[in-house]
Structure 1
């Protein structure tokens, strides 16, 4: 890493509107955390078939393959406060339906899979909207700090709070867990609707050749500068079909985003291979008792939270590119060492380091994307990015499962080695990535 310091004024508060976003995201994260713990536990109560239980994960991931890009189009077309409110409201209704099915004894594994699938669809809308709202509320220089706070609240609520809370509530009564889940989603949707008008993202967006109402909209303005491409929302007559490829076109046409997208997807496949059988590695190779598995994995939550707090300071001192390159290499190197030296303490340190490095990478990638993408394209680009990234992860999981047949350490060693090779090829490019605030205005 370069040791040249980046001079920067003392950061100020991010504002009351951003605080409300954090509060809404905290409530939504509580709902997500409860759902992610409760769903597999409920599935295990409903069936002894491991294949059916595994379909819970498939149902949660499938919406990202099918709906992430359409959700991005939706986020770019409507008031983003409304998108957040609808996502929270629909999930609250679905959660209430799950509670009713449980209370009446009508819940089956198939109803549960449908509920998880519907949760996932709404998550594609919420996730794209919450990320697209942030650049409307904070300046470019504050994006890493704002994204770090969003990441930190999600980590604390989903991993530190939701996991033990949901397990205890389910043991006591599923009604309490499912009731709290319903309330959390409802509160998140309600808070989103109270955000100020600037969070709508409507200012300056183009619809059918006209600027959408809001700050920066100029009546009668043309769709795009003369001689330049138009990346705004297509006229209604063109329909949504043309817009589904707009995010891809923008990413692929960006000299900075295109290679970053490719590297992210490839590294994501490697991490998926490592994570696919990590539970077996911990239980069988590290000999961690099953009762202590959750506590053991808290090392990752601590690492993620630490990284969320430190990433902006590291970026300010060393620069975005060098921090990202170091995080990538160190995180993968930690997994390699855990596989090569299968000791409990080495594994715990590796989980702490790797989860922290992944969080740092995610915060900075998100900040670069938010700074580089025009406001009217944020939803579509986010959806396209997630579709490829999360769509490729099942392939990595399958590879990891096959590698694990030769030993539970093999996915860690092979996945980390492949990831380090990819990182080495892209090292010069990653190190050269600029700070978000130094990008030309989108």
Structure 2
């Protein structure tokens, strides 16, 4: 691992901490303005809607520009947006429509930042270091977004409503400053000279011709919709089902962060011990099963344990599937193919979020968790079948390739 990787890790950890603080505080702020499940889930869905609308052009963009510069610009924009929200909250002008606008705009910038960051990693590590690099980045994401960001965001919210948003803005800007110090030219080796529209078509066409990745994309889009149905009303699950305070909601997020942290750390070790394929199978089916169980518990400790276990399973799967994509997708196509992947996989999140809010309004929040988990388990079984049919391709993806400078 070279110096540039460690700078990427530091920047990513800072950005994820800022993101975690904001993601904990934003639904709490919304819950002080309304208890309508549809309104709450609408905020969650709008934050992810840009992945459905903008992931493809964002991926094409990062395949024709310096990935480091794209990351700096995206986080600078995010920092300025949240700084403006901080002023609105501090002066008593925060409204649900304003939160919707900010969440959507932040989501657009996030598509650029994440697409660039995912394409950046293979430029600074060797192919045989991808799993370790992804493990460290995903672990940093869990620590920043949930392990620290969740409880810190909730705690700051109880001290002063505007405080977490100020910290959120500062974190995004600090990440941009760290990335400025990364030395080198990080444009793709074979940067595209065609139009963005043509690049998007190339990415979609390449993905559509890969049976394994195509199938995973479609199925993970469904599992994302199932998981987001529950996550969209998580704040109401904490406050109204488990009876937690805003600070308690932060500790529920902490439980998820602990699970995610452990999952990210053990993913390479588990894959080495059990094999990549069995580990991916376990990650696929365990998470929705635990999510379904959350719909049947009312004790905060039980809910936290199940939430943490589900997060661990998701994180293990995320580490291994990201490494698989990085091993299979050509470097010069990675941004646009990843954009196509994110469009379909993360595009299911806003759809599932709205569905979860509607189901909660028609029934109750606990029912959403039970239904989402059961549906996710059914889809997960289809994912397992796809993985088993393509076990030879998965094994071949990690055969030695020409190394890049770390």
Q: Is the CA contact 2:41–2:233 (under 8 Å) kept in the aligned structure 1?
A: no
Residue of structure 2 in register with 1:267 after alignment: 223
Residue of structure 2 in register with 1:7 after alignment: none
Matched, 1:417 2:378: no
Change (3 A) 1:258 1:54: closer
Residue of structure 1 in register with 2:188 after alignment: 202
Change (3 A) 1:247 1:166: same
Q: Based on CA coordinates, which of the two structures has the bigger radius of gyration?
A: 1
Bigger relative CO (Cα 8 Å, ≥ 6 apart): 2
Q: Distance in 2 between matches of 1:274 and 1:437?
A: 35
Residue of structure 1 in register with 2:248 after alignment: 292
Q: Is the CA contact 1:320–1:435 (under 8 Å) kept in the aligned structure 2?
A: no
What CA RMSD, in Å, does the superposition of the two structures yield over aligned residues?
3.0
- For normalisation by structure 1, the TM-score amounts to 0.80
Q: CA deviation at 1:118?
A: 2.1
Q: CA deviation at 1:281?
A: 4.8
1:220-276 CA distance string (max 9 Å, x none) = xxxxxxxxxxxxxx2xxxx32222222221111113211111221122222233434
Q: 1:165 aligns with which of 142, 148, 152?
A: 152
Residue of structure 2 in register with 1:93 after alignment: 80
Return 305-314 or 283-292, whichever deviates more. Answer: 283-292
Matched, 1:434 2:395: yes
1:108-127 CA distance string (max 9 Å, x none) = 55444333322211111001
Change (3 A) 1:92 1:271: closer
Matched, 1:348 2:304: yes
Matched, 1:183 2:170: yes
1:126-147 CA distance string (max 9 Å, x none) = 0111111111111222212111
Q: CA deviation at 1:360?
A: 0.6
Residue of structure 2 in register with 1:120 after alignment: 107
1:338-363 CA distance string (max 9 Å, x none) = 44566555433321221100011111
1:375-394 correspondence to structure 2 within 5 Å:
375-394=331-350
Matched, 1:83 2:70: yes
Which structure 2 residue ranges, 5 or more long, are not aligned?
none
Matched, 1:322 2:322: no
1:42-53 correspondence to structure 2 within 5 Å:
42-43=29-30, 47-48=33-34, 50=36
Aligned length: 397
Which structure 1 residue ranges, 5 or more long, are not aligned?
1-13, 209-233
1:286-324 CA distance string (max 9 Å, x none) = 555665333234222111110101000111222222111
Change (3 A) 1:134 1:436: farther
Change (3 A) 1:286 1:103: closer
Q: CA deviation at 1:149?
A: 1.0
1:366-405 correspondence to structure 2 within 5 Å:
366-401=322-357, 403-404=359-360, 405=362
Matched, 1:246 2:233: no
Residue of structure 1 in register with 2:48 after alignment: 61
Q: Is the CA contact 2:289–2:377 (under 8 Å) kept in the aligned structure 1?
A: yes
Change (3 A) 1:349 1:35: closer
Q: Distance in 2 between matches of 1:111 and 1:285?
A: 27
Return 250-259 or 56-65, whichever deviates more. Answer: 56-65
Residue of structure 2 in register with 1:10 after alignment: none
Change (3 A) 1:419 1:394: same
